[in-house]
Amino acid sequence: MSTENEGNEVPKAPSAPPVPVDSPAASSQSPTAGGTEPTAPLPPVPHNAPTATGPHPGGPAPQAPGSAPDGSWPPPPPANPPYGEGQVYGAGPAGAPGGFGADGAGGAGGWGASYQQPAPKPRSGRGGLVAAVLVAALVAGGLGGGLGYTLAKDNDNNGSTTVSASDSGATQVKRAPGTIAHVAAKALPSTVTIEAEGTNGDGGTGTGFVFDTQGHIITNNHVVADALDGGKLTATFPNGRKYDAQVVGHAQGYDVAVIKLKNPPSDLKPLALGDSDKVAVGDETIAIGAPFGLSNTVTTGIISAKNRPVASSDGSATSKASYMSALQTDASINPGNSGGPLLDASGAVIGINSAIQSSSSGGFGSGQSGSIGLGFAIPINQAKYVAQELIKTGKPVYAKIGASVSLEDSSDGAKITDQGAAGSSAVEPGGPADKAGLKPGDVITKLDDMVIDSGPTLIGAIWTHKPGDKVTLTYKRGGQEHTTQLTLGSRVGDN
């Protein structure tokens, strides 16, 4: 798959879901076997962009293989493009260099996609275009109405038996529970449009939803990233109520953030959370967000796939990769839907919309990529755990195996590298992998029942678990297959 961000191609991504490794060595990307490519984060719409326009997701062009950079967390900013060549995600000692736990020799770069805010555009230009379109629509509507009345009048004179419903009847229509209209009516009051503005004036628009009655709102990390260092955050409800907000905690690796309303209202109604583990391919989905700045937009689709490995980046100078074993949906989501809820047919949240795959420009002729029916959401079971940790401590907690794995394009599995980043050990002494008997050169092919076809897939899969969880790893050594049980370790914070 190819994803666009500011018009750049994105490198390939694995076909299976990622599993968390100790921590990625640097912000890097790795193509997957099978010719598919990773998706880019669904960027927020610049707050100062014209109405109904916004940036689109995407990423840097695939990079040639090279040597792995230092695996410290956060990873050192890549030279050019944002994601360097030959970087490796693996697992390093807690607190030691290794970002997402990745140390070691690298494979081809390009796992993930960068996102850069486009230069602000004057409101008058796009606004004028949209206004012109609206005026044309209204004129066409008036003409159509006039013709319709004339034809109806003529038909009446010719003995037409057509009967029209009274206007008063329209107000009596009730939407049955389970219908899209009913679900949307219940969920919309608990969603917000988030505007984030940095101290330098940069920022964008995304979405969030009410998590509890204390005023906590869940959204994407990349939605609030611009406001992290002294910036400004606001959240606006569909009824027009607008509140200042502050970041409670954010997790770059998971791409989840929690903000809290200042002086929250007493009538907040949290959205019900579903069980993303029980979601099935083909289930109906409903997405709510602010695509291209159009707040309170509702779209529908189905679950197209589960456990889809996705890696993305916000494109900043210190950008680090985010990983998810995502729910894939064909519900139309676009830039500005970031952080919004993905609902099931009952109205329960099953995911947080976070990334899209896009192939061409769109968005009111703005040159920004839009939906082609390939959207990705963070499963709510994972997001709920992350949000609860952020509310309790302000810091994310990541599971790890304590081994460095290669990000080379391979369908054979996740290979533990011969050496970690900056000359460190590929297998953390005394760490989970070491205790389980894993060694450099071992190729991990399964985590429990999940097939592992690459390092990034392993990272995403590990991060669907919690520290302390016991997992069974299947691996190959010298052509022979082995299995071992491993208790996942933990790493606190993104740094």
Question: How far is residue 406's CA from residue 59's CA, in Å, rounded to a whole number?
Answer: 21
Question: How far is residue 70's CA from residue 419's CA, in Å, rounded to a whole number?
Answer: 12
Kindly compute the dihedral angle of the four CA atoms of residues 195, 196, 197, 203, in this order, to the nearest 10 degrees: -90
The tokens for 224 are: 């609030």
Q: Phi first, then psi: what are they for 9, rounded to 5°? A: -75, 155
The one catalytic residue among 295, 313, 325, 338: 338
Question: How far is residue 400's CA from residue 363's CA, in Å, rounded to a whole number?
Answer: 40
**Residue 111 CB contacts under 8 Å (≥ 6 apart), including other chains:** 11, 13, 28, 29, 30, 31, 38, 83, 89, 311, 321, 407, 456
Residues 71 and 99 sit within 8 Å (Cβ to Cβ): yes
Identify the residue whose tokens are 């669904």: 42
Q: Is 255 a catalytic residue?
A: yes
Which one-letter amino acid corresponds to residue 44? P
Identify the residue whose tokens are 């190729």: 443
How are the residues of the chain apportioned to helix, strand and coil, as percentages rounded to the nearest 5? Answer: 20, 30, 50
The one catalytic residue among 56, 222, 250, 465: 222
Strands (E), 60-130: 89-90
Q: Are strands 297-312 and 322-329 parallel, antiparallel or unpaired?
A: antiparallel
The tokens for 381 are: 């079971």
Residues 192 and 240 sit within 8 Å (Cβ to Cβ): no
Q: Is 222 a catalytic residue?
A: yes
CB atoms within 10 A of CB 481: 11
Question: How far is residue 312's CA from residue 407's CA, in Å, rounded to a whole number?
Answer: 15
The tokens for 271 are: 């959205």
Question: How far is residue 396's CA from residue 259's CA, in Å, rounded to a whole number?
Answer: 14
**Residue 418 CB contacts under 8 Å (≥ 6 apart), including other chains:** 104, 105, 426, 440, 441
Residues 495 and 74 sit within 8 Å (Cβ to Cβ): yes
Q: Phi first, then psi: what are they for 31, rounded to 5°? A: -65, 155
The one catalytic residue among 22, 226, 255, 330: 255
From 463, 446, 223, select the one nearest 323 (Cα to Cα): 463
Which one-letter amino acid corresponds to residue 120? P
Catalytic sites, residue numbers: 222, 255, 338
